[in-house]
Amino acid sequence: MPRDFRRSDRVSGQLRRELAHIIQMEIKDPAVGLISVSDVEVSRDLAHAKVYVTVFNTDQAADSIRALKKAAGFLRRRLGQELRMRTVPQLHFKHDDSVETGQHMDELIAEAVDSDRVAEPGNSAATAESEPEE
pLDDT at 122: 57
Residue pLDDT, tens place only, 18-52? 999 999 999 888 888 889 899 999 998 889 999 99
> What's the pLDDT band for 69 if we cut at 50, 70, 90?
very high
Helix 7-26 to helix 72-82 angle, to the nearest 10 degrees?
Answer: 120
User: What is the homologous superfamily of the domain 7-96 according to CATH?
Assistant: K homology (KH) domain (3.30.300.20)
Quote the CA–CA distance of 21 and 8 in Å, as a whole number: 20
* Local structure of 120: helix, strand or coil: helix
The percent of residues in the chain predicted with pLDDT above 90, rounded, is 43
- The amino acid at residue 59 is D
Q: State yes or no: pLDDT of 68 exceeds 60.
A: yes
Nearest to 39 by CA among 83, 92, 77: 92
Q: Where are the domains of the chain?
A: 7-96, 98-134
Strand partners, 94: 52
